[in-house]
């Protein structure tokens, strides 16, 4: 979506002004379009590890984002500068040595390569990046970077791709060039998320519905455990493999099963006793979690925040006990939140093994909840969590200065 300059700068708290100044300082005021792009992070409210299993998720965008300024070059050189890392990356298209680039640049280079393969992008560009999505916290920082790059380059090079195609392209870039076999939830949520809404998404078909999120009645608070995890180095791929084994087993009894999202509770119950214990628990989580996502979306449609909160809490228990991706720090934050009056529900969010907890809470209890989370966490772990209150849902936007 393209906005006028005043709207875009206002929405982004003047971050684009800083970005443009940094771009001019590094690359000058040369000729050609300057494209600005913003892609927000996301928090998943319900639906843990269901995305790559062909299931359902319910994420929402947050008020932190990745911002990029891009300008075309006349040669095939790509020259990027990250203001956050104070690093630069340069290479000539097409790039084959991705591992030699800084990791943040690998995400961008993967998107560039996919656009090169699928849409013939063969010209270089220069770009400046900055962002405030916490890294390693499970809030979609990599997807925000990928989508900001894809949307900015689409605008810069006049490439026509649908939002769903953009999300799939960014997912492929992360698979092929970064080595993380992520599901598609993050990229779709970042690309098509809408202000004031959660996104009810079928990860198999990419069909989706924007469900009103009553932020005037309740707030989303995110508690970052400050335990960082790298998906490529975690047990993420192990869990994915375990789910694939569950699919292979259940397909013996129903050849229409292609993913755990195809399995209903009756089929699972009939054959659960024949499965290896670990595989059974993984399948139990995914199958029950899909049901929770559908029930959660309905609770939001009806404005039933109490029911929604109960489903969030049940989701955490299953992620902890069946999928085994929680850790002591996340469990402690969830327990403290759930024991605070005025909190509807809480759960870990993201891939697990670190990262964040998301809470749905009445507005008036936020100060008390913040104090309790910090006090109890410091007492047990000797450090404070980082807390964020989501005050708005940002959308992905681009602006081409030549058309402003």
Written as six digits, the tokens of 198 are 């959660």
Evaluate whether 306 touches 361 at the Cβ level (below 8 Å): no
Whose tokens are 């996502």? That residue is 293
Task: In whole angstroms, give the CA distance from residue 193 to residue 200.
Answer: 10
Contact 270, 176 (CB under 8 A): no
The catalytic position among 11, 51, 186, 202 is 186
- The closest alpha carbon to 396, from 157, 107, 163, 128, belongs to 163
Angle between helices 236-251 and 277-301 (to 10 degrees): 100
236 among annotated binding-site residues:
yes
- The continuous run of DSSP H or E covering 21 comes out as helix 15-27
97 is in an annotated binding site: no
Query: Could you confirm whether 75 is annotated as catalytic?
Result: no
What is the distance between the alpha carbons of residues 74 and 401, in angstroms, rounded to a whole number? Answer: 19
Please choose, from the candidates 95, 84, 332, 46, the residue with its C-alpha nearest in 3D space to the C-alpha of residue 211. 46
**Any known ligand binding at 174?**
yes
Tokens, residue 59: 């994420």
Binding-site residues for substrate: 236
The residues annotated as belonging to the active site are 186
Binding-site residues: 82, 142, 174, 236
């Amino acid at each position: 979506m393209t906005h006028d300059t005043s709207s875009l700068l206002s929405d982004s708290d003047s971050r684009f002004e800083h970005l443009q100044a940094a771009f001019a300082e590094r690359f000058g005021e040369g000729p050609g379009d300057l494209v600005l792009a913003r892609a927000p992070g996301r928090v998943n409210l319900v639906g843990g590890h269901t995305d790559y299993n062909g299931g359902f998720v319910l994420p929402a965008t947050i008020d932190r984002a990745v911002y990029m300024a891009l300008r075309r070059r006349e040669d095939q050189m790509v020259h990027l500068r990250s203001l956050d890392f104070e690093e630069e990356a340069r290479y000539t298209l097409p790039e084959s040595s991705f591992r030699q680039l800084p990791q943040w640049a690998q995400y961008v280079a993967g998107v560039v390569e996919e656009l090169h393969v699928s849409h013939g992008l063969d010209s270089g560009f220069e770009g400046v990046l900055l962002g405030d999505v916490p890294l390693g916290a499970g809030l979609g920082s990599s997807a925000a970077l990928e989508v900001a790059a894809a949307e900015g380059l689409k605008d810069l090079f006049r490439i026509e791709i649908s939002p769903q195609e953009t999300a799939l392209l960014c997912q492929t870039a992360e698979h092929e060039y970064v080595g993380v076999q992520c599901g598609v939830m993050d990229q779709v949520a970042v690309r098509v998320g809408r202000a004031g809404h959660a996104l009810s998404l079928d990860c198999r078909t990419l069909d989706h519905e924007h469900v009103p999120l009553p932020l005037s009645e309740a707030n989303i608070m995110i508690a970052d455990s400050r335990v960082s995890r790298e998906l490529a180095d975690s047990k993420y791929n192990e869990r994915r493999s375990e789910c694939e084994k569950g699919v292979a087993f259940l397909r013996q009894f129903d050849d229409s099963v292609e993913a755990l999202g195809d399995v209903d509770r009756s089929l699972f119950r009939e054959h659960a006793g024949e499965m290896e214990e670990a595989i059974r628990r993984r399948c139990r989580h995914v199958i029950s979690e899909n049901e929770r996502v559908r029930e959660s979306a309905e609770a939001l449609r009806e404005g039933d925040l109490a029911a929604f909160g109960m489903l969030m809490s049940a989701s955490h228990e299953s992620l902890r006990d069946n999928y085994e991706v929680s850790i002591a720090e996340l469990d402690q934050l969830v327990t403290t939140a759930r024991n605070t009056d005025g909190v509807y529900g809480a759960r870990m969010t993201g891939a697990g093994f670190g990262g964040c907890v998301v809470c749905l809470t009445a507005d008036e209890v936020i100060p008390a909840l913040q104090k309790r989370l910090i006090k109890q966490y410091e007492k047990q772990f000797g450090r404070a969590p980082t807390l964020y209150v989501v005050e708005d849902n940002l959308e992905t936007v681009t602006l081409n200065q030549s058309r402003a």
